Structure 1
Amino acid sequence: MISDVDTTISLHLNNEAQFLCFTLSDDSNNDAELYGINIFKIREIIYYDGDVTETMGGNDSMMLGFLTIRGESVPLIDINRWLHYDPNNPHRDLSDASIQSEENLVIVCEFSSYVVGLKIFAIKRIVHKSWGDVSVGDRQGFGAGAKVSAITRFEQDRVIQILDVERMLVDTFPDLQELDYLKARFVEAIKSDKLIFIAEDSQVAMKSLEKIVENLHLKYESFPDGKALLKRLFEDNMIDQVGAIITDLEMPIISGFEVLKRIKEDARTKHLPVIINSSMSSESNKQLADSLHADGFVIKSHPNEIQELLHAYLQV
């Protein structure tokens, strides 16, 4: 179901998404917090009964160790430990926050060219939503620490908190972000007075993109969702000031595919280069972006590829 190409295309074209809804503790009384991950970031869900190779992180680590899945070594992260992790107190004992389960129920995720296993307590179900029914997390008070990028409803009276898995990756493996920042420093500046519009709901991914554009000596404006970007783009006298648009795919209210479609279908904006910057790198996503006339598809957030595309579209 997760890899069905027709379902993928249908969801994107209709500004819809599906989230795996799960808990990190027992929900028999319907009182556990509910969390969600976009199914397009999920490769499989398994009960892992093999050995877990423990790491040196100890009680202050979010990572429990490594799993071996069909010969592949995959890091296992305890999501509840991550939610209790405070970057201002990185050596805090997280053992009390560990998921209390005898079995290792693991969501194996693949995004941004990385594969990780996420330990959870139980699965509720897959929830089908319009992006219009998904709100930006920090507007509702759930975005503290940038760990929840969005929220939506589960049935009538319960909230699903959509996790920022890019933030989880950076918190668990901080050297990844340091490497990205190092790469971003060695990019050639672009001589252009045009604005770059960036739409991204993940704060950590937004920060990475802004750093890339700043190092190119370009001006930019950032938006937490596609609706905010489109509203700004179609303000009076704004279109002529914009040189290119970089957008994520998975965003609340209006998705990146909907942004791409609206820009390319409008005679006033169809000339604008639109670069898709996404952690969801499946062929169906790339093919659909191409069919909607995207001007580039970059795996989040590779500075060299973004640099090359912006050079091609902006350099005079």
Structure 2
Amino acid sequence: PRWLRTDLSEQEERNSSIIFCNFNNIQIALRVGGIHQIITRDWQDVLPLTFHEYMPVDRNLNYTLLDDGSSVCLILDVEYLLTEVLPHEFSEIQEDVQNLPFKNVEIPESLKNGTILVAEDSSSAQLYLKNFFEKLNLSFKFFEHGGPLLEYVQGISDLSLIPLIITDIEMPIISGHEVIRQLKSDSRTKHIPILVFSSMTNDQSRKAVKELGADGFVGKRSVEQMLKQLVATARIPLASSFS
């Protein structure tokens, strides 16, 4: 916790625990003061923090209820936290976007003629994608989570105007998993290629979305891989972008 300007005593260090996670192919360790309880929740049970008038509405804080149905558990968006802790990671990505030789890439006509839909609740990731798409002169539309995206798709009569859907996995209310499940189980929308765009780059995450029917997966750190996956996934079913 040094970056929080907090020093721990020897006793506090002994009582603390370290949680490991994979963030954009980087192994991250988070030290926590203690673990009260471990619970499992579906993403539809994770809601934005808008329930109390005295609490600031913060898109980076969510909540869920504990098993007793009344106790509230606040959920910190670790991706946002790590963005604040590791700003150089994202500034380097933005630089990579500017330096990538886009002119040498053949963009499928479907991407040029349609609008890419993106479900992404991270402002830093949205900025990255915005710059990325603008460099390619592609049309795009952002949604804060999967719910508005699904509603938008259902309201479109000509689905050929949607050449590709990009979704994060970890989003409150409607997660990327639910986006994939609903679209791929609907005969009207199952043909639309879906590219998962996530910081959770472990093998379990990749396997889970592939089993649900996602057509491609890319981490949020590699601009070059994003470009390759964008093109490959848009050409589904001619090629599979899963390795």
Cα distance in 1 for residues equivalent to 2:10 and 2:48:
31
Task: Confirm whether residue 175 of structure 1 aligns to residue 97 of structure 2.
Answer: no
Q: Which amino acid aligns with 2:172?
A: P
Q: Decide whether aligned partners of structure 1 residues 147 and 215 sit closer, same or farther in structure 2, where only a CA change above 3 A counts.
A: same
Q: Is this contact kept in 1: 2:115–2:139, CA < 8 A? A: yes
Q: Going by fraction, where is helix more abundant, 1 or 2?
A: 2
What is the TM-score when the length of structure 1 is the normalising length?
0.62
Deviations 1:245-297 (CA, angstroms, capped at 9, x unpaired): 11111222222122112212222212211001122223233223223332111
What is the TM-score when the length of structure 2 is the normalising length?
0.79
Cα distance in 2 for residues equivalent to 1:138 and 1:204:
22
- Following superposition, the deviation at residue 202 of structure 1 comes to 2.6
Cα distance in 2 for residues equivalent to 1:313 and 1:119:
38
2:117 to 190, 197, 205: 197
Q: Is this contact kept in 2: 1:136–1:224, CA < 8 A? A: no
What residue number does 1:115 align with? 27
What residue number does 2:144 align with? 224
- Following superposition, the deviation at residue 235 of structure 1 comes to 0.6
Q: Decide whether aligned partners of structure 1 residues 197 and 109 sit closer, same or farther in structure 2, where only a CA change above 3 A counts.
A: same
Cα distance in 2 for residues equivalent to 1:117 and 1:102:
19
What residue number does 2:157 align with? 237
Q: Is this contact kept in 1: 2:119–2:168, CA < 8 A? A: yes
- Following superposition, the deviation at residue 101 of structure 1 comes to 7.6
Deviations 1:36-79 (CA, angstroms, capped at 9, x unpaired): xxxxxxxxxxxxxxxxxxxxxxxxxxx52xxxxxxxxxxxx6xx
Cα distance in 1 for residues equivalent to 2:225 and 2:187:
28
Q: Decide whether aligned partners of structure 1 residues 275 and 253 sit closer, same or farther in structure 2, where only a CA change above 3 A counts.
A: same
1:208 to 128, 131, 148: 128
Gap regions ≥5 residues in structure 1? 1-62, 65-76, 82-93
Report matched runs for 1:34-53 at 5 Å. none
1:298 to 208, 215, 218: 218
Cα distance in 2 for residues equivalent to 1:142 and 1:278:
27
What residue number does 2:240 align with? none
Deviates more, 1:242-251 or 1:203-212: 203-212
Cα distance in 2 for residues equivalent to 1:216 and 1:136:
33
SS in 2 for 1:236: coil
Q: Is this contact kept in 2: 1:194–1:241, CA < 8 A? A: yes
Deviations 1:69-108 (CA, angstroms, capped at 9, x unpaired): xxxxxxxx6xxx3xxxxxxxxxxxx45xx66783222222
Task: Confirm whether residue 103 of structure 1 aligns to residue 16 of structure 2.
Answer: no
SS in 1 for 2:27: strand
Cα distance in 1 for residues equivalent to 2:76 and 2:206:
23
Q: What is the RMSD of the two structures over their aligned residues, measured on CA atoms?
A: 2.6
SS in 1 for 2:72: strand
Cα distance in 2 for residues equivalent to 1:99 and 1:208:
36
Runs of 4+ off more than 6 Å: none
Deviates more, 1:279-288 or 1:100-109: 100-109
SS in 2 for 1:196: strand
What residue number does 2:36 align with? 124
Q: Decide whether aligned partners of structure 1 residues 273 and 99 sit closer, same or farther in structure 2, where only a CA change above 3 A counts.
A: farther
- Following superposition, the deviation at residue 172 of structure 1 comes to 1.5
Task: Confirm whether residue 246 of structure 1 aligns to residue 158 of structure 2.
Answer: no
SS in 2 for 1:102: helix
Q: Is this contact kept in 2: 1:225–1:252, CA < 8 A? A: yes
Q: Which amino acid aligns with 2:11?
A: E
Identity percentage over the alignment? 30
